[in-house]
Amino acid sequence: MNPFQFTRVTTPKAAISAITKERGTYFLAGGTNLIDLMKREVIIPERLVDINKLPLATIEKTATGLRIGATAKNSTVADNELVKKHFPLLSQALNAGASAQLRNMATVGGNMMQRTRCPYFYDTSMPCNKRSPVQAGVDKGQANGPSGCGAIGGHNRMHAIFGASGKCIAVHPSDMCIALVALDATVNVSGPKGDRTIPFIDFHRLPGDLPQKDNTLQPGELIMWVDLPTNRFADNSHYLKVRDRASYAFALVSVGVGLDIKRNTIQDVRLAMGGVAHKPWRLTAAEEFLKGKPATEANFKQAAALAMQGAKGYGENDFKLTLAPNTIVNALKTATKTA
């Protein structure tokens, strides 16, 4: 690992000031992704600002729902009684990710900031526009290895079927974020220009011409907490993750679903999919179709077909075009207990 300077901060203000001061400065939370990327020289920070001692690890009730601090550990959130009772989808999604050890280290904010697991991004001898953007001088830490996209026309079994660009077809790797998008979460960030609230669906972005940008954070901004609004989905929630192993593997396709059902009629529904796009993929067309309809397999299949409009395979990942709608239907059946 390359040498770097190390600063420990105890207040958000000090953290923002430290990251604004010097180029090539990164926040360090759980480190489960960043330290790995540093060992592989995908990211070469000049300085790390350790934010683990910030007072942002709390989970508390608010007037409108639940507030989860950015440095709360994934395992703490997954095992929290309020989360399990009111937002079981989030608990399930968290427990579907990584391993027990990694969940003990990883934080909510860090989970949101984790980079794609595209093998071309990780291998500095391979072309990657996300790691080595064509635009010079965007970030010294990213200028490692050749530009281009190895996955387009290469090995792309894990890659996107929605919203990809000619520059990047990588997918966002998080399970937690799929649940947070489905649950209409919002993110509070603080930065040199003040505080702001970002709808979770707008936190991550599609690659477009700037695949090096995973999200819409502005320079110097620190994730403070995530707010979850109360909902009526707790009794009919399910996170279904399809992967190559029974545990401890990234999703090929995952679906997070929450429904409010009365007398077998879907009053309201949230659907989001993982492993299919550069950001958590919300299935709004399917949601709209299902509202007011009975919870039947025929309706689920029609909703899944609507959700798949615009999907595109890149060769090795063509199987996702079948796997994804099947996963949507199965997740809906499990959540509505009609399986």
Question: Which residues are at the interface with another protein (CB under 8 A)?
Answer: 1-6, 8, 22, 24, 28, 31-32, 35-36, 38-40, 46, 48, 50, 52, 75, 98-102, 104-105, 245-248
Quick one: 107 or 231, whose CB is closer to another protein? 107
CB 94, min distance to another protein, A? 13
Quick one: 5 or 218, whose CB is closer to another protein? 5
Could you tell me which of 129, 166, 124 has the C-alpha nearest to residue 147? 129
Which class for 318: exposed (0-12), middle (13-18), buried (19 or more C-beta within 10 A)?
Answer: middle
Quick one: 14 or 305, whose CB is closer to another protein? 14
Q: What is the DSSP string of 112-167?
A: HHPPP--HHHH-TTS-BTTTS-SSTTS-GGG--S--SBSSTTS--TT--SSS--SS
CB 35, min distance to another protein, A? 5
Q: How far apart are the first and last CA of the chain?
A: 49
CB 106, min distance to another protein, A? 10
CB 140, min distance to another protein, A? 10
Quick one: 6 or 319, whose CB is closer to another protein? 6
Integer Cα distance of 11 and 16 in angstroms: 9
| Residue pair 223/74 in contact by the 8 Å Cβ criterion | no
Quick one: 30 or 69, whose CB is closer to another protein? 30
CB 288, min distance to another protein, A? 35
- Contacts (Cβ under 8 Å, ≥6 apart) of 286: 271, 303, 304, 306, 307, 328
- Contacts (Cβ under 8 Å, ≥6 apart) of 3: none
Tokens at residue 164, please?
């990809």
Quick one: 52 or 317, whose CB is closer to another protein? 52
Quick one: 98 or 201, whose CB is closer to another protein? 98
CB 149, min distance to another protein, A? 24
Q: Is 50 helix (H, G, I), strand (E, B) or coil?
A: strand
CB 101, min distance to another protein, A? 5
What letter does residue 107 receive in the DSSP assignment?
B
Instruction: Name the region of 145 (left: φ>0; alpha: ψ -120 to 50; beta: rest).
Output: left
Quick one: 299 or 334, whose CB is closer to another protein? 334
Integer Cα distance of 227 and 194 in angstroms: 18
CB 32, min distance to another protein, A? 5
